[in-house]
Amino acid sequence: MADMIVAENLAYWYGELVAVDHVSFNVAEGEILGFLGPNGAGKTTAVKMLTGLMRPKAGKAVVLGLDMAKNTEKVQGEMGVCFESANLYEQMSALENLKLFARLFGIDGFDPYALLKRVGLDGREKDRVETYSKGMKQRLMVARSIINRPKVLFLDEPTAGLDPSSSESILEIIREERERGATVLLTTHDMEEADKLSDRVAFMNKGKIAALDTPHNLKQQYGKRALKARVAVAGGKLEDREVVMDTPETAKAIQELFAREKVVTVHSEEATLEDIFIKITGRGLTG
């Protein structure tokens, strides 16, 4: 499949501070790439260069096979961007917001009601956005980003701070967009969300890509699987035991655990993306 997003040695710096340090990666057609990293890692600056909001100081951003710096207008007509903080016209209704952007994209015969229904905002179409909850605004942001049925979708923390229900409805829309054929670059702090949605994840740290692979491969490479057991000991107390999986001694260790201890509960445990991120970068995603 063709690469829809390509970062070639992309770099940006603010004076002495290097925000993005010669980063290279690609996102294939129909793929969801999770872009993970703590605040200040350079994710937003990288996305701004890929969406044409900023010119790279070095390197090249290629989207839909076109150099973004030379074809900004053409590429932007085919992409959608959802920002982390809601930047909607709050004194206008959802309907007016969508109609405005439909005009900017030159879309004829646009049905804003259908799109608002899809994101669960039917019935509130004509209310001013300033009266919406955070979750409703975020759903409207997502609706705005897919108004032109984009080939490439950039989503920056689309579910940050939302309740599980709003969050799930947004994740469902992202899945639907992928099924439609859209390529998605998903920037997020939420490793669980990235794990569920992403075909591959990129760990960004201090302006560089620290690791890039499928969540499964990263877990295989950097994580350890374990069997966690809770056992009853003298005096009725409970204690935890751990058996590392995938070693030659695993089978024997499990057998001994059940023979020697009074096992109350047992479950398997996999490393999370956050565990792996910490292992690779030495810092947490929220740091």
Site residues (vs another protein, CB under 8 A): 51-54, 72-74, 76-77, 79, 81, 83, 85, 87-92, 96, 100-101, 103-106, 144
In the complex, least distance from residue 87 CB atom to another protein, rounded to whole angstroms: 4
In the complex, least distance from residue 44 CB atom to another protein, rounded to whole angstroms: 11
DSSP lists the bridge partners of residue 228 as: 242, 267
Which is nearer to another protein, 26 or 72 (by Cβ)? 72
Which is nearer to another protein, 103 or 196 (by Cβ)? 103
CB 80 within 8 A of CB 148: yes
- The H or E element spanning position 255 is helix 250-260
Which is nearer to another protein, 137 or 200 (by Cβ)? 137
CB 33 within 8 A of CB 199: yes
At CA 65, angle to CA 50 and CA 176, rounded to 5? 70
Which is nearer to another protein, 53 or 66 (by Cβ)? 53
Which is nearer to another protein, 13 or 89 (by Cβ)? 89
DSSP lists the bridge partners of residue 26 as: 6
In the complex, least distance from residue 152 CB atom to another protein, rounded to whole angstroms: 11
In the complex, least distance from residue 77 CB atom to another protein, rounded to whole angstroms: 4
Other Cβ atoms closer than 10 A to 29: 15
Which is nearer to another protein, 140 or 211 (by Cβ)? 140
In the complex, least distance from residue 115 CB atom to another protein, rounded to whole angstroms: 16
- The H or E element spanning position 170 is helix 164-180
Contacts of residue 20, Cβ cutoff 8 Å, sequence gap at least 6: 10, 11, 12, 13, 42, 45, 46, 49, 56, 207
CB 79 within 8 A of CB 151: yes
In the complex, least distance from residue 127 CB atom to another protein, rounded to whole angstroms: 14
